[in-house]
Chains A and B, each alone.
Chain A
């Protein structure tokens, strides 16, 4: 089964509100990454958080990592209509041969209404 499971599957909010997406995974990791995908396009890297880090910020994005619970969350503050996209977490599992292959979750579809 998939390493990463995102929750919720879909989220609809008003512009200006915050959006929180959660990701759970099963095995130990080297790092966890969040990506964004607009419809019909490739994925864009947002943030990488290493297994020894607990929180990371980038602009309006805040990512937390709890390795004891094997979970991560992505918070987008003050959302904009342009944030409408699918968001995926991906884990670089420890012991995967250190090839950097990522295991992606199913994604959260975020709709931000103007």
Chain B
């Protein structure tokens, strides 16, 4: 059973470009969470999605960031018009049951904005 797959592992974007981060949850998992980690810091919650629905986006910046988890295909975290402050590691996690369950994390996408 493959783990949570994130791609790309590394992504370099110039200021103003768009970044698209993909996450395929573990087989059978319909709950997806996105977290952001700045260097030497813990993870900060961004958004929680179930298939086709955003359940909690309280950690998402109001502008430029969006997330989706379509019926078919991976979850996508999209950052428009990236700025240097968006440079971070973005982790996706999935669980089979949602709240109260341990999370299974991918190895992250490291975004560098130049």
Contact = CB atoms under 8 A, between A and B. Distances in A.
Interface string B39-51: 0011111001000
A62 B54 CA distance: 36
For A2, A44, A100, the residue with the greatest tally of chain B CB atoms inside 10 Å of its CB is A100
A44 B105 contact: yes
Contacts of A68: none
Contacts of B95: 100
A48 B104 CA distance: 13
Contacts of A59: none
Interface of B: 4, 6, 31, 33, 35, 41-45, 48, 55-56, 58-59, 91, 93, 95, 98-108
Interface of A: 2, 4, 30-31, 33, 35, 40-45, 48, 88, 90, 92, 97-107
